[in-house]
Amino acid sequence: MSAQSATLKSKEELIEKWSKPEVISGSDMLLRSLLLEGVDCVFGYPGGAVLYIYDAMYGFSDFNHLLTRHEQGAIHAADGYARSTGKVGVCIATSGPGATNLVTGIATAYMDSVPLVVITGNVISSLIGTDAFQEADIVGITMPVTKHSYMVRDVKELPRIIHEAFHIANTGRKGPVLIDIPKDVSAAKALFQPVTEVNLRGYHPTVNPNRNQVDKMVRAIEKAERPILLVGGGAIYSGAHEELYEFVTKTQIPITTTLLGLGAFPTGHELHMGFPGMHGTWTANTAIQNADLLINIGARFDDRVTGKLSGFAPKAKIVHIDIDPAEIGKNVPTDIPIVGDVKAVLQLANTLAKRADQADAWRAQIKQWKADKPFKYIDSDTELKPQWVVSLIHDTTNGDAIVTTDVGQHQMWAAQYYPFNKPRSLVTSGGLGTMGFGFPSAIGAQMGNPDRTVVSINGDGGMQMCAQELAICAINNIPVKVAILNNQVLGMVRQWQELIHENRFSHIDLAGSPDFVKLGEAYGVKSFRATNKEEARAAWDEALRHPGPALVEFVVRKDENVYPMVTQGSTIDQMLMGDSE
């Protein structure tokens, strides 16, 4: 990975190299434009409609492409790359089924505001609309889940479109942008000159906030007796973790970070209450329900955070800071709206904010709640508990790994028992809740962060949805460490069926799943199994010491539940605490 990245040239070098206008194909324009955007890895899968593009890659030493084993693996890898680096992720797929296999990944990125440029091939322009072989209206299909879309009709427009797509994807509220390129456009030739500026009329996201609104927030803090901060992924996407830390230090306001906001603020800090919502901490949920001022920083009041909307934060004045004005007031009525980039808002707020002096008793109360109501589980000396496994992973990586998760119980245990103290260290599907996301996203994270340990925590269900990507880890020696918490069941569905559907367990049995050790070995990945603590420590230690990819199957208790839990229709202070209470 490092050797490939080392061949990349700077934008200035590339502009100088290509400064002389020359006639080249649309495919060559595409590759050159991607390099000018600083793209150091593209994830993709070829097919008929993108053959000219893949032919242009042949012998192009500056261009780094990773061949996945499924288009969904490609887009999840691009997503993991983007979330973990802050750069735009890029993937390529062919027309028809290749393009439609990307839809789940596009929706995943859209829901979580992840910047992607998704490039698809299409049939030749004259056949569009004729139901030609492998034709699909991918622009129409993905319109609800893209920030913007392009259908390229003229090869001369391609360089401009590429650079506009990157600008749109990575500014304002970030998100995926689709570029659909008919096969004849990728083959056509025209004069190429590097594009150095992007100017989109009508697209000017509000970055700097209205000072009067920030003043209102500062005055509200001065009067508040029970203030809290609710911080979401927007604080990470804007790169505002240092400004956030300064804001909390100045104001001394207790803080809770959503699932996607974990890592924006050190989890171990005395003012951090954990994450809120359906499986969040007792302290965070109770504080929200009793706060008299709630400042939302870059979160969208998702239903898994708010619970029953009519009963959410009933005593609080609401401040909402967001880059997207459409989010403000959408779910929760807002008293002080502040539109702007989180980093810019906090930079201004830090010049004005003072300590919340009236909140001393509140801070003491929260400190006591944290001591009285931490996450708990009943450990076992005879079987592996998933919470213990996650703690093992945390302790052995010193909390410094990039952790990706799939979706389900293991995702919540990772959020609960792996404290995140750095931004972009947790990569997980929040809004869409996409099974199959965890493992390929780890590949993208590792490609973007070759010098960091990347751990993919998965369930036995989600792992089987993209297990074929083990091949590319083995072939390319991508050293992702895969932890499978195997409880032989669709765990979160089983938990809901137990607690809400009176133990009517319907179609959740995964006992017929493959032997994951044999599966990993079949792909050429060093693999281990652990059924108790001694085996777990030994297997995980060997996996971490192994220089390449490694897989450990942890056989955990089948009927373990995630607690606390807020059932749908309940307010977030109506928590089921489980057997540990």
Q: Confirm whether 11 is a catalytic residue.
A: no
The two three-digit tokens of residue 518, written as one number:
């044999």
Identified catalytic residue from 60, 134, 365, 468? 134
The two three-digit tokens of residue 121, written as one number:
């091939």
Identified catalytic residue from 4, 37, 71, 278? 71
Identified catalytic residue from 147, 174, 183, 343? 183
Strand partners, 117: 90, 177
Q: Are 93 and 121 in contact (CB under 8 A)?
A: yes
Q: Confirm whether 183 is a catalytic residue.
A: yes
Spatial separation of the C-alpha atoms in residues 391 and 403, rounded to whole Å: 13
Using omega within 30 degrees of 0 as the cis cutoff, is the peptide bond preceding 564 cis? yes
Q: Confirm whether 133 is a catalytic residue.
A: yes
* Cα distances (Å, whole numbers) of residue 370 to 287, 290, 551, 565: 11, 15, 35, 17
% helix, strand, coil for the chain, step of 5: 40, 15, 40
Spatial separation of the C-alpha atoms in residues 171 and 200, rounded to whole Å: 12
Rounded to 5 degrees, what are φ and ψ at 181?
Answer: -120, 110
Instruction: Please choose, from the candidates 469, 464, 463, 450, the residue with its C-alpha nearest in 3D space to the C-alpha of residue 547.
Output: 450
Indicate the DSSP class of residue 382. Answer: S
**Any idea how long the chain is?**
581
Spatial separation of the C-alpha atoms in residues 339 and 401, rounded to whole Å: 33
DSSP 263-319: TSS-TTSTTB----STT--HHHHHHHHH-SEEEEES----HHHHBSGGGSSTT-EEE
Q: Confirm whether 71 is a catalytic residue.
A: yes
Q: Are 102 and 120 in contact (CB under 8 A)?
A: yes
Number of Cα atoms under 13 Å in the Cβ half of residue 512: 3
Within 10 angstroms of residue 135's Cβ, the number of other Cβ atoms is 18
Identified catalytic residue from 13, 133, 315, 542? 133
SS3 481: strand
Identified catalytic residue from 217, 435, 463, 492? 492
Number of Cα atoms under 13 Å in the Cβ half of residue 244: 37
How would you classify residue 216: left for phi > 0, otherwise alpha for psi between -120 and 50, otherwise beta? alpha
Give catalytic residues, as residue numbers. Answer: 71, 133-134, 183, 492
